[in-house]
Amino acid sequence: MLLLDDDSACNVDSHWLGPPGCTFLWVARYSAYGTGSLLFIVGMVLESVLGVPMNVFSTLILLALVVFLTRAVGRRVGFEVRVQHLIVIGWHEVTTPRAVRPWTAVFHMRPVKVRRRVFRRRLVAA
């Protein structure tokens, strides 16, 4: 069953397929290209700051990570939810003050006195 809507934003095809007769092998949105290129630039800057050697292997790993992250972001991004909204939501999730639960386990490092235990043989009656 096909439901037609009157919203013009839903009817716009947001996929870029290339020029007529010469299309890419994959389907991607404009936002995916922008998100992927931004993630790649941020990844290259992080690699240089962390001191990762710049070679083919590290670049291919970064490219695979960028493709994975772009696909993960692309599943959540649409015409109703933008990338900026995801960033703001993530920031609010990280910086929101949380109530401390009284039943939460808290471990403290305290000095412990270690005693040597003396083992004694027990005589077993046969």
Task: Kindly report, residue by residue over 3-14, the tens digit of the pLDDT.
Answer: 566 665 555 555
Q: Indicate if the pLDDT at residue 73 is higher than 60.
A: yes
Q: Helix (H, G, I), strand (E, B), or coil: what is residue 28?
A: strand
Q: Indicate if the pLDDT at residue 79 is higher than 80.
A: no
Query: What is the pLDDT, as a whole number, of residue 66?
Result: 96
Please give the C-alpha separations between residue 57 and each of 3, 52, 60, 83, 125, in angstroms, as whole numbers.
48, 11, 5, 29, 71
Greatest mean pLDDT among 4-13, 24-33, 52-61, 70-79 lies in: 52-61
What are the structural domain ranges in the chain? 10-95
Task: Kindly report, residue by residue over 4-42, the tens digit of the pLDDT.
Answer: 666 655 555 555 555 666 666 677 777 788 889 999 999
